[in-house]
Structure 1
Amino acid sequence: MKARLLILLLLLGVSGWSHQVYNQQQQLRWLAHQGNVKAQYQLANSHWQQDNRTVAHYWWQRSAEQQYLPAIDNLISEFPKANDEWLRLAASAGDSTAQRQVAKNELASRDISVDEWQRRWEEATDPWLQQQVALLRRYQAARQCEMTIKVIAANQAEKERYLHFLSAVESSPFDSENWCISLKLDDSLSCVTRTERNRANCHFDTQFDKQVVLADKGIASANNRTLILTPDSSKDVIQHELGHWMGFADEYEMSELLAREFCDGHYKHKSLNIIVTEQDQRYTAAQVQDIYHRLPWRSELSSWDEIASRESDGWRLGSPENKAIGLFKADTCNAINDKQAWRPVNVSTAMKQHDTGLWPALYLKLLINP
């Protein structure tokens, strides 16, 4: 009798539990069809556990389309082939990691302009994206354009390189507060590398007073009007090339063609860090004084005889190696035999070796008081 009673109670309990589970499932389905994102997510989980992948995908997607991040995470995890779609949903839902990934993908798109890209991510919560948008704003919003620079690219897919250039400008030692920089497309842009040092030689239709060309090959270079940058141009390289615009000459050995132009005095803009004299010549005191008076950095020296030493047959140019500022040999004109280049410091600056990133305080002072 007792055994029968226990069995009856057990059957009633199982029946009641089953009925309760059934009612809960019915309620979950009803809420899911009404658009409840959590119910849609939970219903999808239930189907996934039962190996109903298609139905699970359907309800996860319904939930994800309402920007429910747990559903989006499951779609990214279980259906990776459609990751671009899920990432866009996650980005719209405010997920900062997804925002960054989608934004980076869009940088390489030819169909999205830099202005449109900026508008898309104005309200992004990801710190990296906020930095990029602020960078774009900074160089669009200069109150007075002391320097206007056009960055010439073949297409909109160069947005990441454009941002890289802006970042190099911002982190440079130069005062770029009132520089105005914008991207300009030129579908005629084409580059070859036939020059002596594999420098990029580019053809493009548009011409501006100051222009940066985003070449697809070769080695970076600069003249008084144009910087040519290549895909592997680091921030240090960009800042070195900008240094030319600021009035600094190369302190490494120039090619013979460039050295002939520069060392013979045909340089098209000022040189704050290099002067050129005859090679291995003895000078009179008056000649040394003349050289001293044409030094851009002479105000940092107390006397003309700091740049030369007295010898029996006259004066030999050059300061002691341990002197902080003076006159020191540079490699600039080494490719030709009759000229010697000189610089004010005896250290490896960014104009000699770009990856040192070293801009002596004297150089920055010369920018202010040339």
Structure 2
Amino acid sequence: MRLNKKSRFSGFFYIKNAPGILLFSCLLGCEPALEHLPEQQLMDKAQQGHGAAAVLLAKKRERQGDFPAALNWYQKALDAGLTNELDALLALKQRQDGFLATASYLEHHLQQQQSVNAAEADLAADYGLWHYAQSPAYFASNSNFSCSLTLQPVVQSKAGSRQLQLLQQQWQQDSQLSSLPVCFLPEKRMNSTDLQCSYQAGQRIQCQYQVLKPDVAQGGFSQLLVVAGEGTANYNNGIVQLAESSSFEVFRHEFAHILGFIDEYSLSTEVAQAECRSDKIRPNLLTDQTQLDLYLQHWQLQRHDIQMQPVESCDNAGVQAFAPVATMSFMRSHEAEIPELYFKLMQKVLAQPELIMPVQYFYAYLARQEQDWYHWRLLMDQAAKQGYPDAQHLLQEASAIPTAP
């Protein structure tokens, strides 16, 4: 029997890496793996530019819930050249500081780069930095009939762009809405750091709409459709504001506001005071049963076409309001159907699109508040060209005012 002689290289092994070259790796006496290092030693390494050590510290602090410290160590990892940690840093920063602060950070980070790779360009689209993004734009357009109403979609991130595409697809698949003479222009992409839409759950979404003034003044549409931010969707003076997660049912509801439909649930006191004491004839709301004959005449309906139903719209104004349908409608519950009567009323409103207030009229009002008379006239001209009577009247008044010699 041959006895195995212990090699003088006991405690080592070797790997044949290439002809004539042997690489030796220690089994004993090596420095411990990073994850086994004492914390202070790990921190010292990270401070000295050891990226992997910084990542370990970042993930450890993140698990501990110390997000500011975790962000600091992720930044150290990026500074050390580990650019694949950018995604993790952004996700944590958004959780800690919000979407807009994260977009601003990413914009600053990319400005320091000599070039932007594909992964960074994709992140730029996620955070609405479109001048770095390379993703295609989506849009839907109705070309089989003339447009009584044209919407200009606006997005501030890739999530908003995807949701807009989905909503437009669902619109085209809806047998009622797709038959309306309503068209969508190609989406307008605004940098999130410019549009600055809010991300506050349970609060109305607000954006810096003034940055859209050049597009509104250029015309070519009558309503803005902004799909950006998170919070409560709303409609205000020609601007449909949807969240990036808004459903098609929410879109239907907010779109109906363009055509003058009123919520059939309790309005806020301020809105109720304005709407419920107005002499406007709304498609879906009567605030006084003595208005019935006038309502029927205005909408060219017969008494048997409607079924009066009490609704809560005007409760905060001390007024009992009535809807002209007995069933639950989509103006009371987003998930409910559009009653056939309401669809016919939509068609009637769109038969006179010049009576729908265009967004240019609202922007003219804002320009007047700022005493920006150049844009006031430019925007009012756009509203008047769409046939809006109030705009035409105001321009006539302005022309009649004598000017100084």
After TM superposition, the score normalised by the length of structure 1 is 0.50
After TM superposition, the score normalised by the length of structure 2 is 0.46
**Larger Rg belongs to:** 1
